[in-house]
Amino acid sequence: MNHDDPRPPSGKDVAIRRALAVKARHEAQLMRKANVVGVGVGFREWGGRLTDEVALVVNVTRKLPSSQLAPQDLIPGEIEGVPVDVREVGQISAR
């Protein structure tokens, strides 16, 4: 996404910009949910492999079945049309 590049943005550039805008609007709300330790933008994982689909990436300490989460802690599958990829990352700590 070079701003000096005269070429029109690619579909991927547009998807990344859109996902970043959605992240900015929803990050604080997502961070208040149980187990959430980070929110970013990246490529969705499917079956252990990265795809080329741009997504909000919500990092959680532990993935839990929805039946074990309070309704307010459920993470939607998409936000404003942007897919959401929930990834288990464990505890994050500074060393």
Question: Domains plus CATH for the chain?
Answer: 11-88 (3.30.300)
The beta strand positions in the chain, using DSSP E, are: 36-46, 49-60, 78-79, 82-88
30 three-state secondary structure = helix
pTM of the model: 0.83
Q: What is the pLDDT along the chain (95 residues), one digit of tens a residue?
A: 455 666 666 778 899 999 999 999 999 999 999 999 999 999 999 888 999 999 999 999 999 999 999 999 999 999 999 999 999 998 877 77
